[in-house]
């Protein structure tokens, strides 16, 4: 599930870093070759100047070596060392073991509660089984049918069309 854009950027960065290190190595080899050529060109009477040049070249090579070491260390700062990785891994293992113990304790209490509740259920079911059942309820439709109360309002008035419609609907 790597991001293709991120991998392409990473590969470009690695290519550029490798090109830089190759250029630095070629520059160092050229400086060494120049040292050799300069030392051969210098004659015996100019040994004093040769010593100065050698010191300057030695300082220049030391500076270039220091620069490459600094660049390498700056490149390595972004990466995790094995010791740091191992220490973080050990911390994570310790936290995981702690969490596992906590979960075991919680599950232990839940298991105890479950056992207690099942014992209560068994006890209650035994008590209910020993008691007799209640008498069944019988339905008698005759007792429910009571006289309907009829309300009549305005008996002496003449009936309208609406009254006749309602009477037919209600008498069915």
Distance (Å, rounded) from C-alpha 64 to C-alpha 94?
A: 45
Over residues 41-79, the pLDDT tens digits come to 544 444 545 556 566 666 666 666 666 666 666 556 667
C-alpha dist (Å) from residue 74 to 17, 18, 19, 67, 139: 12, 14, 16, 10, 94
Whole-angstrom Cα Rg for the chain: 51
| pLDDT given for residue 54 in this prediction | 62
Name the domain count of the chain: 2
Range of the structural domain that residue 33 is part of: 4-79
Co-location of 60 and 74 in the same domain: yes
- Name the range with the highest mean pLDDT among 5-14, 28-37, 97-106: 97-106
154 and 166 in contact (C-beta within 8 Å)?
A: no
Co-location of 60 and 70 in the same domain: yes
Residue 159 belongs to a domain: no
Residue 19 belongs to a domain: yes
C-alpha dist (Å) from residue 143 to 140, 149, 150: 6, 16, 19
Over residues 132-166, the pLDDT tens digits come to 777 777 777 666 666 777 777 777 888 899 989 99
Distance (Å, rounded) from C-alpha 56 to C-alpha 29?
A: 16
Residue 137 belongs to a domain: no
| pLDDT given for residue 44 in this prediction | 45
pTM of the predicted model as reported, rounded to 2 decimal places: 0.29
Residue 56 belongs to a domain: yes
Instruction: Name the least confident of 27-36, 38-47, 104-113.
Output: 38-47
């Amino acid at each position: 599930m790597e991001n293709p854009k991120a991998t392409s950027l990473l590969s470009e960065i690695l290519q550029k870093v490798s090109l830089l290190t190759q250029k630095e190595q070629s520059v160092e080899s050229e400086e060494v070759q120049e040292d050799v050529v300069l030392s051969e060109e210098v004659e015996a009477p100019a040994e004093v100047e040769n010593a100065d040049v050698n010191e300057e070249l030695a300082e220049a090579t030391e500076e270039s070596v220091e620069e490459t070491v600094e660049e390498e260390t700056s490149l390595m700062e972004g990466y995790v060392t094995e010791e740091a990785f191992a220490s973080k891994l050990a911390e994570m293992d310790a936290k995981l073991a702690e969490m596992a113990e906590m979960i075991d304790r919680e599950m232990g209490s839940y298991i105890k509660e479950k056992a207690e509740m099942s014992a209560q259920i068994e006890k209650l079911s035994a008590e209910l089984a020993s008691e007799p059942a209640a008498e069944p309820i019988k339905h008698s439709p005759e007792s429910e049918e009571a006289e309907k109360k009829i309300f009549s309002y305005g008996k002496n008035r003449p009936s309208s069309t609406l009254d006749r419609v309602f009477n037919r609907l209600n008498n069915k």
